[in-house]
Amino acid sequence: MKFVRFAAIAALVFALAPDAAFSQALTSLSSLRVSYTTRKNTVKPAGELKAAIDQVDREIAEASRLGRTAELRRLFAKGTTLLAGRPWTDTTDYAASLVLRTDRVVADSAKTYFVRLEQIYSPSIQLERSLKAHAELRERPAPPAAGNATPTPPPAPQVVKDLGASDGVGRDLRDTPFRFELDLRGVADGTYQLAIIVSDETRTLGTATLLISVRKGLDDIVARLEADAKKAPAAVHDDILYPVDRMKQVNHGRLELRTFDPDKDFPAAEAVAAGARGGKNPFAAKTGDFKRHYLLESAALRQAQGAPSDSLSVESRGEIMPYRMYVPTSYNGTKAYPLIVALHGLGGTEDAFFTNYEQKMPPLAEKHGYIVAGALGYRVDGSYGWGIGVAPADPATRRVQENSERDVMQVLQLVRQQYKIDENRIYLMGHSMGAIGTWKIAPKFPDLWAAIGMFAGSGSPATLERITHVPEYVVHGDADATVNVQGSRTMVAKAKELGIEVKYIEVPGGTHSGVVAPNLAGMFEFFDAHRKAAKPTSQP
């Protein structure tokens, strides 16, 4: 293994070859903002701490106004550090500025792995000498415990492979990133944390980390899946190609690695390919809990003028989206089943209602006889469109939100095509951002829903006039530090004023996520009691 400094010639090469200079996707600013706000509402700062946080908030408002996203990341880090009871020093400022960039977050362990140490912003620290860097591959850290508002630092992950050390790291990594060539040979397939520890002669200044996935023979796996997809029935083509497309999205910096699981998704695609041999559809009679995928054409990045569709890459034609299904074991296509479309909260995925909330959704769906479809909503922070309100002015935000809504509605359409669905028993529900999304989407397609369910959400009361015929099941905790309970109270008050049938459960002392699992059974019972009296008059 050797380290190579990002010299002038190398910088020129990267400038002329943008495909080799992708950045890993950082946690979205909306997620950082919500995490910071939740911590602030939980801590309830007073005295000197409140004065310091008030100043941070003023600086956040100014940075937001000016669109200074790098400064926003610094300020959210500073505010979160102060709220955790730790001082914000020049060293913590420097540590928060560090970031790793790479063109392959999902990498072949048989090949040299390239990564660059950079900075998001210029910290306040004064460095008088060159720096050192030590790289190591660690076990993937365990996620923080759910519901812990003030998490304790997790234990240091075990080092899987020491990748060596180097000196001569520049003091300004925005101007001169430091490039590493790392040897990952011998590392078992899996997902790891790559860590680069930066120090001077006397102290550790900070550690930059990046989740990466390592697979030996990755290029061969991709080629095999692409060949299998060409021979498979059209119905499963996207299920086979999904990990290939998702890997490209992650490598190109459009998505965080956590939005898909190479350790599961590649083997799952290979299993679908094996089951599709001979022209079979392995999902034709499948029940239980499983993933499906389809091509969202509106997510296409670009298309060559006059190019035939079969010559275009998946990225040029769209983006393959995942959705998660639960189909009761009693389903055999002879009778129509009710359908629930489930929308996750900010930062979640299509898996949210299957793996979180004490995993109560699948057994309840089995017990009550519901098909459940968990949609991603295009991005973990897509927000499911803007409903019937005013579209965002920013084109990038508008595109994300458009695709977020389209993803939900296309999943609904696909499930209605693939399964025998009771058209008078289609329900929409969600938690947090998903509850907000439910109150956005339901009024936009008012003829579709037999009832809707919202956990810890908020909405625009004026939109309720479009769904006065749609019963509502609403749950919120009065100690919610993330979405204030007043959001649900306002919506419920307007619903009652309009004569909407609403069941509202306000949980004393209830937290943002803690109110969901105990009230899911009640939601199923509410849905059981409500169906439309007539067929829908509109289609998505």
The whole model's pTM is what? 0.88
Q: pLDDT tens, position by position, for the chain (540 residues)?
A: 444 333 332 333 233 333 344 557 788 899 999 999 999 999 999 999 999 999 999 999 999 999 999 999 999 999 999 999 999 999 999 999 999 999 999 999 999 999 999 999 999 999 988 899 999 999 998 876 544 444 566 677 899 999 999 999 999 999 999 999 999 999 999 999 999 999 998 899 999 999 999 999 999 999 999 999 999 999 999 999 999 999 999 998 888 888 889 999 999 999 999 999 999 999 999 999 999 999 999 998 654 444 454 444 555 789 999 999 999 999 999 999 999 999 999 999 999 999 999 999 999 999 999 999 999 999 999 999 999 989 999 899 999 999 999 999 999 999 999 999 999 999 999 999 999 999 999 999 999 999 999 999 999 999 999 999 999 999 999 999 999 999 999 999 999 999 999 999 999 999 999 999 999 999 999 999 999 965 444 444
3-state secondary structure 195-252: EEEEECCCCEEEEEEEEEEEECCHHHHHHHHHHHHHHCCHHHHHHHHHHHHHHHHHHC
> What distance in Å separates the CA atoms of residue 337 and residue 326, rounded to the nearest whole number?
12
For the chain, the distance separating the N- and C-terminal CA atoms, rounded to the nearest angstrom, is: 55
Compute the Cα dihedral for 358, 411, 329, 290 and give only its sign: negative
Query: For residue 151, what pLDDT is reported?
Result: 53
Question: Given this model, what pLDDT does residue 448 score?
Answer: 97
Q: Name the 3-class secondary structure at 537.
A: coil
H or E element, residue 337 = strand 337-343
Every domain of the chain and the residues it spans? 2-145+157-215
Write down the number of H helices and E strands in the chain.
15, 17
Question: Which residue, among 222, 129, 224, 121, has the nearest Cα to 171 in the 3D structure?
Answer: 129
CB within 8 Å of 63: residues ≥ 6 apart:
69, 71, 72, 75
Q: Measuring CA to CA, which residue among 103, 109, 82, 112 is closest to residue 4?
A: 112
User: How far is the C-alpha of 266 from the C-alpha of 281, rounded, in Å?
Assistant: 18
Judge contact between 459 and 440, C-beta under 8 A.
yes
Query: How far apart, in whole angstroms, are the C-alpha atoms of residue 515 and residue 331?
Result: 30
Q: What CATH superfamily is the domain 2-145+157-215?
A: Macroglobulin (MG2) domain (2.60.40.1930)
- Name the burial class of residue 82, with classes exposed (0-12), middle (13-18) and buried (19+) by CB atoms within 10 angstroms of its CB: buried
Q: Please give the torsion angle defined by the CA atoms of residues 30, 36, 39 and 42, in that order, rounded to the nearest 10 degrees.
A: -70
